[in-house]
């Protein structure tokens, strides 16, 4: 019995002092995207539909990954959104990258290593039309960082 207890304690020590156990890894996001659609967004005034696609500024969101163990500590950022009332298609990209459609399922977005601050993200909204009823539509995008 004593041997077993010692074995468990030894394993716990290994776990907590292992480089893998980087419990301090952190991700934070700042900014948001607020878009207002009105008659100025008609493609050619009365008689025309709304433009279907809208883009945020290139730094609508700034992501920061911090508290990595060192510059070689690798991580992966996943993205998803949640909403019960979201009639649009939403995409996101890093500066210089390609848009990736966000879904309600977590999907790999990008990866990197070490502390990285102010990763600029831009959004694209598609599917706007006059068939969309007036009102406010919101969604919450979740970015998760996984220590890899």
Instruction: Indicate the DSSP class of residue 46.
Output: T
Applying CB under 8 A, the site for other proteins has a residue count of 64
Instruction: Indicate the DSSP class of residue 84.
Output: S
Contact status: 6 vs other proteins (CB under 8 A): no
Contact status: 126 vs other proteins (CB under 8 A): no
Contact status: 107 vs other proteins (CB under 8 A): no
Q: CB 141 → other proteins: shortest distance, Å?
A: 5
What's the angle, vertex CA 68, arms to CA 66 and CA 74, rounded to 5? Answer: 110
Encoded tokens for 63: 């992501």
Task: Answer for the pair 61, 81: CB distance below 8 angstroms, yes or no.
Answer: no
Q: Is the dihedral of CA 136, 57, 82, 115 positive or negative?
A: negative
Q: Which of positions 30-69 make contact with other proteins (CB under 8 A)?
A: 31-39, 42, 45-50, 61, 63
Contact status: 118 vs other proteins (CB under 8 A): no
List Cβ neighbours of 55 (8 Å cut-off, separation of 6 or more): 122, 123, 124, 125
Give the range of 93-101, 108-116, 139-147 binding other proteins by CB under 8 A.
139-147
Instruction: Provide the binding-site residues for other proteins, judged by CB under 8 A.
Output: 1, 4-5, 7-8, 11-12, 14-15, 18, 20-23, 25-29, 31-39, 42, 45-50, 61, 63, 75-76, 81, 88, 90, 123, 125, 128, 130-148
């Amino acid at each position: 019995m004593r041997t077993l207890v010692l074995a468990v304690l030894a394993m716990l020590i290994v776990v907590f002092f292992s480089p893998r156990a980087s419990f301090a890894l952190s991700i934070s996001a700042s900014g948001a995207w607020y878009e207002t659609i009105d008659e100025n967004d008609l493609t050619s005034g009365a008689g025309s539909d709304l433009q279907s696609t809208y883009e945020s500024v290139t730094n609508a969101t700034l992501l920061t990954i911090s508290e990595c163990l060192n510059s070689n500590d690798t991580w992966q950022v996943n993205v998803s959104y949640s909403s019960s009332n979201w009639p649009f298609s939403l995409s996101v990209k890093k500066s210089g990258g390609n848009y990736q459609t966000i879904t309600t399922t977590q999907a790999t977005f990008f990866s990197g290593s070490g502390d990285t601050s102010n990763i600029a993200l831009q959004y694209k909204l598609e599917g706007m039309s006059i068939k969309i009823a007036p009102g406010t539509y919101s969604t919450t995008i979740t970015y998760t960082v996984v220590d890899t």
